[in-house]
Chains A and B, each alone.
Chain A
Amino acid sequence: MADFGTTPEQLARIAVVERANAQRNPDAVFHGQPISVDDVLGSRMIAEPLHLYEAVMPCAGGAAFVLTNARQAAAMPHRPVLLLGAGEKVTHRALSQAPDLTTTPLRAAIQDAYAMAGVTVRDIDLFSLYDCYTIMVGVTLEDAGLCPKGRFGPFVEEHDFSAAGDVPLNPHGGQLACGQADLAGGMSHIVEAVRQLRGEAGERQVRDAGVALVTGNGATLSEECALVLGRAA
């Protein structure tokens, strides 16, 4: 905010659009409870500039997927999803040692995942992005190459992040609207991407979803990974 002029309203909008997406996911903790920017800014301040509704709700839950090779997957009853690329980067543990406060290790991890998959950001049909706090999503939009560094604020004002929008983002509502089932919270982003790429996402299905970017983050914006998943031919 000090460097780029990002506003509280722009950050709050991330929580609003994810909550709106969750209204098509009956399994989300906040299904049936859409919110407005004013609701977010009116919720209790936790750690400036983040309000209560910009942080995940801890909840109980679990997530699982089966990982196997493509040959075995072809013989299984469900339509497989392919792991096309992966990247991982760890830069620090103590926040004081972070090499940059506005770029995360995801920038390198995502580039590695894109390169392995042979895709660019323009090929991504679905963004299933780790979202412990609104700022995490904002910085990831930049680090994924959707907009230049420091510009996620205007970007979130100008785009449609619904399943039918130009930048489908966490159609299930993400952890901000589904709740964060501790370590399974990150897994939920894989589960949603797999459902979308299989065409099993029901009323929140992203049309013709062929390639998805999934991100994960841990510790102090320090230990991060990215996956590119693709629909099987």
Chain B
Amino acid sequence: MSLRAPLPTPTAVSRRFWEAARDGRLELPCCRACRLTFHYPRVLCPRCWSQDLGWRVVSGRGTVATFTVLHRAVHPAWQSRAPYVTALVDLEEGPRLLSNVVGIDPRDARVGLAVEVVFEVEGEATLPRFVPRT
């Protein structure tokens, strides 16, 4: 049985994030009014509600705020990858992203682990994931 893993559906608001990832850049929305860099992409600044928004390339460096190791995959198509690490990553620029930590024995995952972004191709999408920073 082969199951297709679900992939992101870029929207008018999020397309730039996914296209940047395809080109190997982590690009996040930022507010021109109050200077907040944020994630996920949306039409209003979540702090000052300005609609005057732009994008900026961020470092891709961050730390693991919290994580879980999934032994039962959320989607059957991912079960062959289990156990895998799903984490909330705090970027140096402030925003918090939900992603995976890869390139690591799941038993070595830790809160506070220093990580950096990598870009993994899956089907038609490129997904930002994180690896331990050396």
Contacts and interface: CB of A to CB of B under 8 A. Distances in A.
A46 B40 contact: no
Interface residues of A, number: 12
A47 interface: yes
Interface string B66-89: 101111100000000000000010
Given A96-B40, A96-B88, A96-B96, A46 B66 contact: no
A96 B71 contact: no
B98 A95 contact: yes
Interface residues of B, number: 15
A96 B95 CA distance: 9
18 contacts: A2-B111, A44-B72, A45-B71, A46-B70, A46-B71, A47-B68, A47-B72, A48-B68, A48-B69, A48-B70, A49-B68, A94-B40, A95-B88, A96-B39, A96-B97, A96-B98, A97-B96, A101-B66
Nearest to A1: B111
B100 to A, nearest CB: 13
Nearest to B74: A47
Interface of B: 39-40, 46, 65-66, 68-72, 88, 96-98, 111
Contacts, number: 35
A60 to B, nearest CB: 22
A70 to B, nearest CB: 42
Interface of A: 2, 44-49, 94-97, 101
Nearest to B97: A96
Nearest to A101: B66
Given A47-B69, A94-B40, A97-B40, 14 more contacts: A2-B111, A44-B71, A44-B72, A45-B69, A47-B70, A47-B72, A48-B69, A48-B71, A95-B88, A95-B98, A96-B96, A97-B46, A101-B65, A101-B88
B116 to A, nearest CB: 18
B36 to A, nearest CB: 13
Contact of B71 (A2, A47, A97): A47
A95 B89 CA distance: 12
Contacts of B111: 2
A45 B65 CA distance: 22
A90 to B, nearest CB: 14
A212 B41 CA distance: 42
Contacts of A49: 68
A30 B28 CA distance: 48
Contacts of B97: 96
A97 B97 CA distance: 9
A97 B96 CA distance: 7
A86 to B, nearest CB: 28
Contacts of B98: 94-96
B130 to A, nearest CB: 13
Nearest to B89: A96
Contacts of B96: 96-97
